Amino acid sequence: MYRVYRVAAEFDLPVLLHSNITSKRERNPLYVSEIKDALTAHQDVNFIWAHAGTSATLHRYQDKLDFLLTELEKLLADHDNLYIDLSWTVLEPYLLDKNQDAAAGWVKLVEQYPTRFMIGSDALGSYDKIAASLDEYTAFLSALNKETAQKLARDNFLSLLPPRPISNKLANADQNKD
């Protein structure tokens, strides 16, 4: 993946990592060192960690990962190039409790790092129900201050996009090869 990371750095593109923090059988942050290695070796690349390192498979086997919030706190403190995508798998049991109330620890972490989180849908090519899917974040967004909620819902992702069209960079790269 390091070649992909170098290309991303060259074109100012973020990298979306779909990588679990652990396996379905382990109750510890088994793979966190792999994420740390990538973040450290490629500090010029912005990484978006999909689902905060969780997945439906992990939840099927383990339900809630008690170490997740603590590990994210450490990673965000140590790596300015880490961003967290709060896709559907983190709504419950992490962002929202069984009563659909916002989880205080997550509210605190997002408020502490208001530019480092974003909402994702992970719609996988089926976009007809995306509005309903994104509405599920309303309770969590309402628990944040208004400015942080706007960043989480829209601005943070847009801020990671390249400042100029990639096509210009590709054209310049092709001209430099001659």
pLDDT range class, residue 59, cuts 50, 70, 90: confident
Tell me the C-alpha distance between 176 and 41, whole Å: 27
Can you give the pLDDT at residue 176? 63
pLDDT score of 74 more than 70:
yes
Percent of the chain scored above 90 by pLDDT?
A: 66
| pLDDT tens profile 117-151 | 999 877 777 788 888 788 889 999 999 999 999 99
pTM value is 0.88
User: What residues pair up with 24 in beta bridges, in sequence order?
Assistant: none
Containing structural domain, residue 138: 2-171
Is residue 23 included in any domain, yes or no? yes
Is residue 67 included in any domain, yes or no? yes
Is residue 177 included in any domain, yes or no? no
Give the chain's domain count. 1
Q: How far is CA 88 from CA 53, 95, 100, 103, 132, in A?
A: 12, 10, 14, 15, 12
Is residue 102 included in any domain, yes or no? yes
Domain containing 163 — which CATH number?
3.20.20.140
Tell me the C-alpha distance between 22 and 140, whole Å: 25
Is residue 176 included in any domain, yes or no? no
Tell me the C-alpha distance between 99 and 92, whole Å: 10
pLDDT score of 95 more than 70:
yes
Can you give the pLDDT at residue 165? 67
Is residue 178 included in any domain, yes or no? no
Task: Reply yes or no: is the peptide bond before residue 114 cis, omega within 30 of 0.
Answer: no
pLDDT range class, residue 157, cuts 50, 70, 90: very high
Is residue 100 included in any domain, yes or no? yes
Can you give the pLDDT at residue 120? 84
Can you give the pLDDT at residue 47? 98
Can you give the pLDDT at residue 169? 61
pLDDT range class, residue 81, cuts 50, 70, 90: very high
Pairing state between β 47-50 and 117-119: unpaired
Is residue 158 included in any domain, yes or no? yes
